[in-house]
Amino acid sequence: MKLYYTESSPPCRTIILLANILNIKLELILTSPKKGETKTAFFLQMNPQHVVPTLVDDDGYVVWESRVIAKYLLAKYAEKSDLYPSDFYTRLEVDKVLDFDLGTVFRRASDYIIPILFTGKTDPTKTPKLDDAMNVLSEILKRGNSNFIVGKKLTIADISLITVVSSLEAAGYDFSEYPSIVSWLRNIRNTIPDYESIGVKGELAFKTMIDACLK
């Protein structure tokens, strides 16, 4: 199974962390969008959206979008895993958080981070919407009364979110006003197997990229 990825990418990190939990061996193929490697004829044939991560299964089936890849791996290789609960309503809660992550957290985090990559500094006009997203995330955690985003166990919602939130942390976003998020971050880092060697490695790659851009 091949995964076309970029080391600093939060969505790529999500899939690598999940595959490790599921004991799925991936052939990791480093792919740089910056160098145009996702716009070659070969890559576009696989994925017209030209994004990483892109997964190619052993049978040649191609999947892209990290949250879809995560569901695919669980449905095909770990159908009964608690990472994507079988209980109808618990799974809906996980799906709600994944959509919140994709449509709000990741989008606003990207809006906050992209100016750093292109101008070397943050754009203050992007911070209020990001703050609002973090307020919502904090409230979800408080209402759940748990160190996990859904229920009392680790799910793919936690794995997807931590890669985005930890990247914001690496980019210098201040989480001191969100103790529930700080506590959740610590718990998820301690819960995900091999986070020190996989997750932290990706965080450092992201931080190195950001630090190189900051003026």
> Annotated active-site positions, please?
9
- Crossing angle of helices 156-170 and 88-100, rounded to 10°: 20
Residue 118: both structure tokens together: 């292109």
Residue 127: both structure tokens together: 């911070």
CA distance 94 to 157: 6
Element (H, E) at 179: helix 179-191
Element (H, E) at 139: helix 127-144
Who's near 181: CB < 8 A, 6+ residues apart?
Answer: 134, 137, 138, 141, 165, 175
Who's near 82: CB < 8 A, 6+ residues apart?
Answer: 153, 154, 155
Contact between 199 and 190 under an 8 Å Cβ cutoff? The reply is no
Which residue in 72, 73, 64 sits closest to 44, CA to CA? Answer: 64
Q: How many CA atoms lie within 13 A of 168 on its CB side?
A: 25
